[in-house]
Structure 1
């Protein structure tokens, strides 16, 4: 055998014997730890507001080391669809639920099931009825949102300042089963009435652009002097704006709520008077962060309010 091969063979044998004599055990690979699973359920990704909310939630999940599962209804009022989506994930196994409910009471049965399975629950955006939570025997559910009544009031106040006295106003509401819709309506109405603006109608368009268009058309037919509109979200404000533009009503003053991109552009161009930014990304981020704190047995606040911002034509937020 050539000398080189003999040397290599002896070297390998020595290494093997050395390994055996050392008594070292093979190094075991660390078993990867499964990340906690946090389910985020929103109303609908048709509305860009919820796309922004998801972005904030994903940022929190990445920073805090949890797996984020995102589900959403196809319509902002379909609470039954939200319930089905949650039940599916409860069966698959989740650790925490962050819920922006379509209905403030009807969502409760699935939350009871989640609680019985030990799932931590955080409420964002639209508040679950606290009295109903107590009646259901559930523990307090942390809530992350904005002061919706104040946001509605701020938008109504700007409309009133721009319109002056004796204007005629329409309030376009979200579903009355949603607490945030009622709070925005009440805030806007208070601001308008404090400034002697008559609210000729306050009716529901269920967050939808097309429904708001039809509602605006009907109310305008009954009240031709109409010239001020507060809509409880931007999608409905854009529906009212579309009607106004198609009918040459360029002097109408219209307010929205959410600061979605199309509404923000309309404000900047002077077609909408104002929108309220409720920082959807911050709500999503804080919702997931609160869920992680619960999973880590940390104390959390009962209510966390994200600051609203008033967005006007100069595109400078008014805090």
Structure 2
């Protein structure tokens, strides 16, 4: 059963939108967004839908919190739903249908299956709903009105470049731990990592590739399988930090964690701490709060003026490590802590 959660912002006499909203559109935190927008009692309610891949991943928890805070600031109502697990397209389809029936003006979605979700998105758009992808593009990308996301290819490329530089002339035996075949962000990060490392799919240095559904437990299980088949693994790429934590647990259980270079993508506060203490060598930090805030603002703008957001907005990515290498731009964990999310 799909769970749709609805949380309302305050409904008050409207004083009107100000230039502060435009300034807020490029802000990374709500602190820069100025006073809340208020509405007259008779003014139509603005409903916004947010559908994430799962409920438990800190990345999506932060996204939901940011969307709710911005919806409240804009006196809008936020409805939320999530897949039951990575790759769960059916629950997201049902959520779209229920949100459209409830009268949302826009839906923000992180697709679990970038291709399978497209027909449902088309139905929503045909019904006049603005649909914006967050974090993960659909296939094709123009199936949504707009995309607000990390450059996932660049995120993978950054940690690939870093891993290659750290390995130097040592032969690499690489394990890649991805999310799901249907995830476009997973494919982009994987492809970026390969390019950054200077190899192509099928290269002999890739000794194990597994899908983990972006999950910590699956990361541990699949890393353990990889190590049993290839005990000489010395580089591990993970699609996100929950997977990285699972991989590190498997490495540590076998006493191998000190001899393996582990790189990842996310830049959450726990992930940055893992970089600081040496569990993860480097992570590519992304900014889910910014995605959510800009998405909510775009729906409010559409509801009030009819202007539809379009195209791709890069919400930024930075390499975080305390062991920088020449020629690769990076920031240390002090910067990472200042810009991380729980």
Please list every run of 5 or more consecutive structure 1 residues that lacks an aligned counterpart in the other structure: 1-29, 134-139
1:145 aligns with 2:149: yes
Q: How far is 1:299 from its partner?
A: 5.3
Residues 117-158 of structure 1: per-residue CA shift (max 9 Å, x gap): 21111111110112783xxxxxx5211101101110101111
Tell me the residue number matched to 1:189: 194
The number of residues matched between the two structures is 284
Q: How far is 1:294 from its partner?
A: 2.6
Q: How far is 1:273 from its partner?
A: 0.7
Counterpart-to-counterpart distance in 2, 1:266 and 1:91: 43
Please say which structure displays the higher CA radius of gyration: 1
The secondary structure found in structure 1 opposite 2:56 is: coil
Tell me the residue number matched to 2:11: none
The secondary structure found in structure 2 opposite 1:257 is: strand
- Out of 246, 271, 276, the residue aligned to residue 279 of structure 2 is 271
Tell me the residue number matched to 2:175: 170
1:254 aligns with 2:262: yes
Runs of 4+ in 1 over 3 A off after TM superposition: 194-197, 316-319
Tell me the residue number matched to 2:30: none
- 1:275-314 maps to which residues of 2 (within 5 A)? 275-295=283-303, 296-298=305-307, 300-313=309-322, 314=332
Q: How far is 1:197 from its partner?
A: 9.1
Q: How far is 1:297 from its partner?
A: 2.0
Q: What TM-score, normalized to structure 2?
A: 0.77
Counterpart-to-counterpart distance in 1, 2:125 and 2:309: 17
Q: How far is 1:211 from its partner?
A: 1.7
Q: How far is 1:251 from its partner?
A: 2.2
Tell me the residue number matched to 1:224: 231
1:33 aligns with 2:40: no
The secondary structure found in structure 1 opposite 2:67 is: helix
Tell me the residue number matched to 2:53: 43
- Per residue, is there more helix in 1 or in 2? 1
Counterpart-to-counterpart distance in 1, 2:195 and 2:334: 25
User: Is the alpha carbon distance of 1:63 and 1:226 closer, same or farther for their aligned partners in structure 2, counting shifts above 3 Å?
Assistant: same
1:214 aligns with 2:232: no
Q: How far is 1:316 from its partner?
A: 4.0
Counterpart-to-counterpart distance in 2, 1:262 and 1:194: 30
